Structure 1
């Protein structure tokens, strides 16, 4: 066995569970200042229930001993839910939010993290751009648009025609990020869940073939505003660890 190199830095230790919870809490509190009160309320509620049960069965101390870890668990669940909400709130309305949200889909999908189509009225203003992202999975092809509603719809329709030329017969679903007021509109927070809950119709092998066909489209994508990279939009991953 080769000797260890002198002066080599030891591998960084992963933070413990308590340290992780603290990181998540601090990240979420910056967006949701009331998160500490909600956690305390959840923990207190569990302790009150435990105390009542303990009094009824004349085992108050025993009930509180059991109630303490349950109270901590309740607080961490509240932290997880509100931290997730805070993470999405950080990216809501930002160009590239769809790409950031789709990264939370872990398996079974081919995700294009950069826009497959874009339409910007002014080259210096990404806020005016309509963007389309693509995901391919067993439910078929999903195209998600963000940006000004009218232009996003037109861009989605154009991209749909393009993918149908190379993947004829494959289901294509169009979604647009918004306030969720219509059937084809979804909030950024519910986007990943909406995509993952779609009914599968293709086999894994078929998904792979479809993805390769779509990759072959290639070509020059519509230009994005100069100097702007929507893929740099990131959700706070620390705030998502509690999920």
Structure 2
């Protein structure tokens, strides 16, 4: 079960964190993995680690907000394997702030990556999947897409857009054999979390990490590999009856907090 043998996957933002775990797991399950990431050092390292472990990975230095760069990269992927079966739109950036302290520059930056980036990659991906006879798309949304989270105005706005794009793609391309679903995590322990704590709470990292962990009823943050496991299911043939759905993976945050 859950084999991805003879499948080609593009994963954006896979140089580190959740995206890297997804790329590693997909490669272990037999997929040809193509990593799109603007951070050249981490992207190359992620691909090298997969190849060293016996997998098949390729890296492309791409800004997902640049449509032509995205289209060119997808052309290269398709030309390499003559197929595209899986797309995981994981690349994204965060911002902490309310409406009043979100600048126009902040808003434009998040929209360009989190919304336009998903649009660009989905546009390129759908075209190649239609030529391949179908495929599976997973968009990384967030619990912030459906809940009011303090000081996440711009981030919540963009993740709400990701969720509704998911529904539109699923509806419009179901006849082409293309499925599209979303994953909405709560807090996941990634390098972003560590960097945020170091920058904003120097000397109090452990205390704040524990505090943030306990906001989730299960008592801890999620692990990137746990998100990867759900992504694997949604991109495998075992989930062939699932499209247009949003899966929360949040340690009970959305339903058990009182």
TM-score (norm 2): 0.23
Query: Which protein has greater RCO, CA pairs closer than 8 Å, 6+ apart?
Result: 1
TM-score (norm 1): 0.24
Q: Which structure would you say has the larger Rg?
A: 1
